[in-house]
Amino acid sequence: MQTAIYLMVQLPVVLLLAPLVNGIILKIKALTQKRRGAPVLQLYFDLYKLLKKNVVAIFGGILAGTLGHLVTIVLLGAFLRLDSKIIISALSKSVTMPIALGISGEVGGIEAVTIVGVTIAGLTGAIFGPFILKVFKIQEPIAQGLAIGTASHAMGTSKMVEVGQVQAAMSSVAIVITGLLTVILVPIYLSI
């Protein structure tokens, strides 16, 4: 339980600091090119505008994606008649490795299975994410970022950085919220 509390405190701090780090990097980049560049806090303003306008859709989409992952893992595991420890270990596949290992350790999962699940989820999003978005004709930048961030954590988000700033920002938001929801929902599922 201590790990879950630690993660629930750590994730919002990371979410709050990420735009600042990005702003500093962009400012330094602009200064080295002898340009003024955007204000250091510009990404905070941009995120605020996006979140304010789309808050229900954003949080609803991330919640649906997180629940979808959990239900899919449980149903697929039951269909394939997998051992319950393997199913438990795979429940946290769509969050970053430190969070996934923390959850897996707390609920009695097998860490090696968790590592494989997280790696496959991340690589799938990073390699096939843009292709999947095109196939399903997902063209809205906010939806693209949320989909990849919810499904493929940091590896998918690194791909969204190449696609666009809005996609990267929304993917980052999705990583944090998906992590928080997974930390909360996995123990709830296991207690049922």
DSSP 30-80: HHHTT---S-TTHHHHHHHHHHHHHHHHHHHHHHHHHHHHHHHHHHHHHHT
User: What is the total count of domains within the chain?
Assistant: 1
Task: Please give the pLDDT value at position 7.
Answer: 66
pLDDT above 70 (res 3): no
125-144 pLDDT per residue, tens: 999 999 999 999 999 999 99
User: Can you give the pTM of this predicted structure?
Assistant: 0.83
Give the gyration radius of the chain's Cα atoms: 17
CA neighbours within 13 Å on the CB side: how many for 10?
Answer: 13
Instruction: Compute the average pLDDT of residues 153-160.
Output: 89
Residue 21's domain comprises 2-191
The residue among 6 and 56 whose pLDDT is bigger is: 56
Residues 50-72 as b/e (b if ≥16 CB within 10 A, e otherwise) read: beeebeeebbebbeebbeebbee
Task: Please give the pLDDT value at position 37.
Answer: 85
Cα(182)–Cα(151) distance, integer angstroms: 12
Task: Please give the pLDDT value at position 2.
Answer: 65
